[in-house]
């Protein structure tokens, strides 16, 4: 093969490699943007959790007592517009989608370590029991079903499917600033 041909061939290979790298960058930037939308700004390969909503106002915190709750408030409330998409905070499997009295329409996501994440008062759910979801996948939307005075997400985090812990701490431990 003539030297000129060899050079031309090598040039084409480089162009193809660059195109592939650019496509990979675009994919990665897209992924980064989605993670950032849900509050994660770190290394995409190291992500463990994201926030359940892209936009919200924090309302009632964990552990409060008052006339609204039979016992201590077992979760964190995120006020948001009705219909706002709720996303999986981590990879897991859907283990319940049902109306649950004061919790309204509730979806339970069970993580690989056995932690349950409860999404309560939903308007609707877009997942079914047994479905595997990845973090940032939409699972339903914000509502005001059950014992609720306005559209909001009541989020509970229950390690080993036991007593609830403060979702804010759980999220902060995963590099998020809710
Ligand atoms: Zn609540």
Domain count, the chain: 2
Percent of residues, the chain, with pLDDT higher than 70 = 97
Q: How far is CA 98 from its chain centroid?
A: 19
Residues 92 and 158 in one domain: yes
Residues 92 and 165 in one domain: yes
Residues 79 and 124 in one domain: yes
Within a domain: 75:
yes
pLDDT at residue 114 tops 80: yes
For range 60-78, the mean pLDDT: 84
Residues 20 and 73 in one domain: no
CA of 7 to the centre of ligand 1 (A): 67
CA of 62 to the centre of ligand 1 (A): 8
CATH assignment at residue 157: 2.70.70.10
pLDDT at residue 3 tops 80: no
CA of 157 to the centre of ligand 1 (A): 12
For range 131-148, the mean pLDDT: 96
CA of 10 to the centre of ligand 1 (A): 62
Residues 65 and 33 in one domain: no
Of all helices (H) and strands (E), which one includes residue 26?
helix 3-37
Strand-by-strand arrangement of the 105-110 sheet: 57-58, 76-79, 152-158, 116-122, 105-110, 92-99, 132-133
Residues 89 and 162 in one domain: yes
For range 118-132, the mean pLDDT: 97
Residue ranges near ligand 1 (ion) with Cβ within 5 Å: 75, 77, 154
pLDDT at residue 164 tops 90: yes
CA of 80 to the centre of ligand 1 (A): 13
CA of 142 to the centre of ligand 1 (A): 13
Within a domain: 165:
yes
The pLDDT value recorded for residue 117 is: 98
Residues 64 and 149 in one domain: yes
CB 92 within 8 A of CB 110: yes
Residues 138 and 81 in one domain: yes
CA of 83 to the centre of ligand 1 (A): 17
pLDDT at residue 56 tops 80: yes
**Domain residues for 73?**
57-172
Residues 133 and 165 in one domain: yes
CA distances from residue 67 to 63, 70, 108 in whole angstroms, order as listed: 13, 7, 25
CA of 121 to the centre of ligand 1 (A): 9
CA of 72 to the centre of ligand 1 (A): 10
* Cα–Cα dist 92/162, whole Å: 17
CA of 175 to the centre of ligand 1 (A): 23
CA of 57 to the centre of ligand 1 (A): 13
Within a domain: 52:
no
Residues 65 and 32 in one domain: no
For range 152-173, the mean pLDDT: 97
Residues 11 and 86 in one domain: no
């Amino acid at each position: 093969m003539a030297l000129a041909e060899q050079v031309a061939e090598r040039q084409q290979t480089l162009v193809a490699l660059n195109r592939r790298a650019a496509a990979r960058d675009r994919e990665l930037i897209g992924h980064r943007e989605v993670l950032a939308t849900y509050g994660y700004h770190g290394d995409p390969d190291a992500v463990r959790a994201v926030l359940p909503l892209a936009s919200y106002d924090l309302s009632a915190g964990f552990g409060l007592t008052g006339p609204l709750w039979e016992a201590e408030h077992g979760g964190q409330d995120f006020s948001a517009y009705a219909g706002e998409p709720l996303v999986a905070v981590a990879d897991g499997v859907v283990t319940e989608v049902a109306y649950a009295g004061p919790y309204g329409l509730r979806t339970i996501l069970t993580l690989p370590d056995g932690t349950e994440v409860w999404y309560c008062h939903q308007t609707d759910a877009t997942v079914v029991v047994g479905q595997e979801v990845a973090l940032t996948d939409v699972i339903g939307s914000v509502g005001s079903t059950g014992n609720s005075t306005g559209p909001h997400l009541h989020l509970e985090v229950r390690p080993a499917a036991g007593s609830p812990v403060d979702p804010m701490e759980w999220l902060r431990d995963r590099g998020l600033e809710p």
